């Protein structure tokens, strides 16, 4: 801690004296665990993810997300805000670690790290606790395989006030760093529910009164002319192969976004954003 000013030193001492902590190096198992989570190459059944920096830690505090471990690099901490956040985070975990700047830079993904990183657990609520609102929009992700696309759609869902994201035929790990980063914190605010197969997802939507729209470029029904029912669900398909054929065997609607240029379709994240915003705005703001 010699490189921080005396004011920060004093604040750190006051925080650390009230908590048990360990000073660890780059070969410690905690550092290896962080690298494994970031690399996305090891099994992660408990759905832990790595949050790096002040902004990410604030989202964790705001959403009361469960923290497993807190890693601090005193030499990288240079604001009172960071010190205040560390104090709050230290109260939420028993696993507190101090690392050198050299060690921290080996795991940080940002050019100018804020000196605080946490291992947190992705919220995965029970579908039994999901209570749709009177006017409700759900986004179903069927076989989406690019983590960044999922993150983008979660962020859009947060902005549009979507009630939940349902996932079936999952092909991307929900703790993938690109998904976490792309969601801009929405991965912690939008309830996500994973279904073992298409039929179980469909049955839940049907039993709860949802009208299901398949996003399909072949549909004659366009989004801008659609009047949405109070419970609406959109199904978005795989980036290459589209929606699973099984969905078409159910009594569902099809909906399209007209293409006026040379391309035959939009990116799945862009398409989902258009549809959920259109439905949400019409349901919640259209007085007609």
Looking at residue 80, what is its pLDDT? 83
Tell me which residue has tokens 């690109």.
178
- Looking at the structure, tell me whether residues 92 and 207 fall in a common domain: no
Task: Write down the number of H helices and E strands in the chain.
Answer: 9, 11
On whether residue 78 sits in a domain, the answer given is yes
- Looking at the structure, tell me whether residues 258 and 148 fall in a common domain: yes
On whether residue 175 sits in a domain, the answer given is yes
- Looking at the structure, tell me whether residues 246 and 277 fall in a common domain: yes
- Looking at the structure, tell me whether residues 153 and 266 fall in a common domain: yes
Name the percent of the chain lying above pLDDT 90. Answer: 77
- Looking at the structure, tell me whether residues 187 and 92 fall in a common domain: no
- Looking at the structure, tell me whether residues 137 and 258 fall in a common domain: yes
Q: Name the residue among 132, 194, 129 with its Cα closest to residue 167.
A: 194
On whether residue 92 sits in a domain, the answer given is yes
- Looking at the structure, tell me whether residues 154 and 188 fall in a common domain: yes
Owning domain of residue 37? 6-121
Q: Name the residue among 189, 192, 175, 148 with its Cα closest to residue 51.
A: 175
**Contact between 169 and 194 (Cβ < 8 Å):** no
Number of domains in the chain: 2
Looking at residue 275, what is its pLDDT? 98
Q: Which of 91, 121, 151 lies at the terminal end of a domain, its last residue?
A: 121
- Residue 89: pLDDT over 60: yes
**Contact between 185 and 214 (Cβ < 8 Å):** no
- Looking at the structure, tell me whether residues 37 and 116 fall in a common domain: yes
- Looking at the structure, tell me whether residues 72 and 149 fall in a common domain: no
Per residue in 248-259, pLDDT (tens digit) is 999 999 999 998
pLDDT, average across residues 273-277: 98
What's the DSSP call for residue 243? S
- Looking at the structure, tell me whether residues 200 and 169 fall in a common domain: yes
**CATH assignment at residue 64:** 3.30.1330.30
What does pTM read for this prediction?
0.90
Confidence band of 5 (pLDDT split at 50, 70, 90): low
Looking at residue 2, what is its pLDDT? 47
- Residue 11: pLDDT over 80: no
Per residue in 220-244, pLDDT (tens digit) is 999 999 999 999 999 999 999 999 9
pLDDT, average across residues 102-119: 89
What's the DSSP call for residue 65? -
Looking at residue 8, what is its pLDDT? 65
On whether residue 224 sits in a domain, the answer given is yes
Q: Which of 71, 97, 121 lies at the terminal end of a domain, its last residue?
A: 121
- Looking at the structure, tell me whether residues 271 and 152 fall in a common domain: yes
**Contact between 219 and 254 (Cβ < 8 Å):** yes
Q: How far apart are CA 248 and CA 231, in angstroms?
A: 19
**CATH assignment at residue 245:** 3.40.1280.10
Q: Which of 96, 121, 146 lies at the terminal end of a domain, its last residue?
A: 121
């Amino acid at each position: 801690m010699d490189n921080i000013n005396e004011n920060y030193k004093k604040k750190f001492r006051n925080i650390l004296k009230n908590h048990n902590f360990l000073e660890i190096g780059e070969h410690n198992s905690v550092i290896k665990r962080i690298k494994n989570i970031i690399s996305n190459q090891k099994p992660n059944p408990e759905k832990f993810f790595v949050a790096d920096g002040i902004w990410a830690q604030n989202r964790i505090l705001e959403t009361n997300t469960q923290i497993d471990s807190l890693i601090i690099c005193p030499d990288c901490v240079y604001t009172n805000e960071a010190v205040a956040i560390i104090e709050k985070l230290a109260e939420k975990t028993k696993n507190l670690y101090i690392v050198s700047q050299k060690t921290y830079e080996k795991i940080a993904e940002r050019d100018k790290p804020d000196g605080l990183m946490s291992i947190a657990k992705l919220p995965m609520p029970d579908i039994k606790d999901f209570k749709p609102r009177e006017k409700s929009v759900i986004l179903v992700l069927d076989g989406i395989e690019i983590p960044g696309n999922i993150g983008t759609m979660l962020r859009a869902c947060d902005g549009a006030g979507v009630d939940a994201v349902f996932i079936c035929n999952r092909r991307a790990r929900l703790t993938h760093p690109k998904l976490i980063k792309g969601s801009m914190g929405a991965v912690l605010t939008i309830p996500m529910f994973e279904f073992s197969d298409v039929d179980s997802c469909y049955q839940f939507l049907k039993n709860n009164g949802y009208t299901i729209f398949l996003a399909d470029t072949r549909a004659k029904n366009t989004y801008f002319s659609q009047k949405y029912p109070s419970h609406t669900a959109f199904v978005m398909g795989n980036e290459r192969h589209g929606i699973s054929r099984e969905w078409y065997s159910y009594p569902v609607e099809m909906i399209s976004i007209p293409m006026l240029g040379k391309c035959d379709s939009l990116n799945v994240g862009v398409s989902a954003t258009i549809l959920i915003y259109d439905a949400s705005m019409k349901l919640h703001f259209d007085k007609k």
